[in-house]
Structure 1
Amino acid sequence: MGSLFQSKLKLLLEIFLVSTRLGFTSFGGPVAHLGYFHEEYIRKRKWMDEKGYADLVALCQFLPGPASSQVGIGIGVMRAGVLGGIISFLGFTFPSVVVLIIFALLLQTFGFSDAGWIHGLKLVAVAVVAHAILGMAKNLTPDVQRKTIALLAVVVTLLWQTAFSQVIVILVAGLGGFFLYRQLTTNDPVDTTTFPLSRRFAIVCLFLFFGLLFALPLIREATTSNWVALFDSFYRAGSLVFGGGHVVLPLLEREFVPTGLLSEEQFLAGYGATQAVPGPLFTFAAYIGAIMYGWQGGLIATISIFLPAFLLILGTLPFWNSLRQNDQIRAALMGVNAAVVGILISALYYPIWTSAVLTTLDFAFVAILFSLLVFWKFPSWLIVLFGAIGGLLLSFL
């Protein structure tokens, strides 16, 4: 019994240390986070295989909320159950919550928004995402049909940039994969990794998700509590946002700035800080909550905006794991996985490439970072350090 407890504790500590390091070093937004996860969890530690990871990414892209955080939670659940998912979430999220509050205050005081090292971190994101795409494309788009699906996903998501475009692309790609590959008898083994969650527990999580979504506005109307209003605003934002963290920022602006709870200047200062710190963009909620109600407000806002993502991923994982073993579902997932590659390529161009690679010097530096990562096998944290230093040096040229 004691050895079993020690083994569990050691596993949770490993998850916490790895996810915390990612929380401190994962710059560049949700797509870049998936690249960092791919490097650390799949390439280096092999906690999941390529197909399993791509399936998990596809599921989280389909669900509302912060996709990268949900992927991290799913990997933690796979390793050590619900507690592993919580530890993985805490490790990846709370470093940026703390850093964002501190950095936001410094940003407002000293004005770091145009610092060269921040631009260098954007260039790091280009190299990391490009590396992840190459690895995923090799495994997930091996034939012309899936390459075509990926190409169409690139074109559609670039030309039609709405909150629901990714969801619709994934649905259509799944339908295409079903018709293209449903007659194939797949001999490839399904990833045998199972998520230690019961369907009963999953149903409870889904019930809580929808129950809170509908009950909180009623409770808010029935009370005059500022805390209930804060929880409701952020829970609703986390529940209804498709497309990742960049989409939640304008939604939060509409929620708090016109009402006078937050000034435009305060909002923009927080927006700049959010772009500069690592971790999920949803931690912008910590900044807003802290501006309004101090550090307690920052914690409540963080919990409430991430709670829907947690409930949704825990509520869908058991069903997803069984469905993906069905041959017809697997055929659909072949199309979905190809579309995920296309969506990542699209995001590599916009907003990552367009906001980072502005000159030929930028492109040359990205090429160096990419080579250090791919050919010389430098660790991601060292690439981040080189990127920050290089960006600072480039600002003087």
Structure 2
Amino acid sequence: MATVVLGVGGGIAVYKSCYLVRRLKEAGHRVHVIPTRSALEFVGCPTWEALSGEQVHTGVFDDVPGVEHVRLAEQADLVVVAPATADLVARIAAGRGDDLLTTTILATRAPVLVAPAMHTGMWENPATVDNVATLRRRGLIVKDPASGRLTGPDSGPGRFPEPDELADLAALLLDDPAAGSAMAVQDLAGRRVVISAGGTREALDPVRYLGNSSSGRMGAALAADADARGADVTLVAAHLEVPVPSCVREVRVSSTEDLEAAMRREAAEADIVIMAAAAADFAPESVSDLKIKKHEGRSRVGDRMSLDLVQTPDVLAGLVAGRHRDQVIVGFAAETAPDRDELLALARAKLERKGCDLLAVNDVSSGRVFGKVDTDVTVIRQQGSGRRVRGSKMMAAHAILAEACSLLAP
């Protein structure tokens, strides 16, 4: 069980932090909430105490003998500041220690994840831009806000991310503390990353399709990690069962043919291309304009109906063939194999056949991987041994992108 200190700034987005406390608690963590004075104007101490199950202190003179700000700073495995207002970001950047939250941040040696939320004008103000750069330079992790509806009629960048995104980032930082370094230094800043995700659907008639069990969770995790590392991210999304991360541009597709066209277009200027979508290998030879009735069918014998299938485009091979010189391309392989040696043999054969730089392979036998939060993935490259990651898909995403980053031209 990890200890998370959640600092809460005073903004309308405070209500979302209530859900964040619940997510962190459900993950088995101990959560200590430190609201600022202005945050208490939105949500009071009884709510934070009820949700966290911990007593809430709000001032540096609370529990003086216990030296609360030092105690919490030393106990913390992670400090999350969400939402962080423009004022709170400025005070942290200035090294202020004028309340319990800022003194705790000054005293802690734990990773600090800051999630700003404010009006677009404040977020884009040069003072805030400089303050955020200062935080990152000092090793704090800043999750850029989403773009969307703000307080009142305004819309733009500055919207608080969804609690699930922050909870997933927090889980990654707790599982892999080194992940924070890449996010703090923004090692993908200025890079364009294009990722496909989800399962394609091949229409049979207006109501039926051939599909697969992919949830898109792996692709969404890759997009979230790339965004946290500063990349300009496009997610080419087939059927997804998970939300698209904030700050990510989304392109919706349905069939493998749609996926091929979108990926060719979006990948043209990309630095990293990741084919995480589960593209169908086959599609019906023809699509009926009308719903196929039970008593009709294309080729029926008794209670059976047969379909003629044709091979779909090989999207990954096409991307490799059309790549520009410095582009890094990552493929995925979902295989079924009797043992790990056979799994890796299949993966290496596919890597050679496709010609991509990296291949992430996992065994999807017996309902593993598809739709699950955790995974067991091995990343192999054209030369060298494979890197195995067992844990959350966020952990796997971070490892895959780390491997891809190592291949980027300076």
Q: Which has the higher helix share?
A: 1
Q: Which structure exhibits the higher relative contact order, with contacts defined as CA atoms closer than 8 Å and separated by 6 or more residues?
A: 1
Q: Which has the higher strand share?
A: 2
Please say whether Structure 1 and Structure 2 have the same fold, judged by a TM-score greater than 0.5.
Answer: no
TM-score by length of 1: 0.22
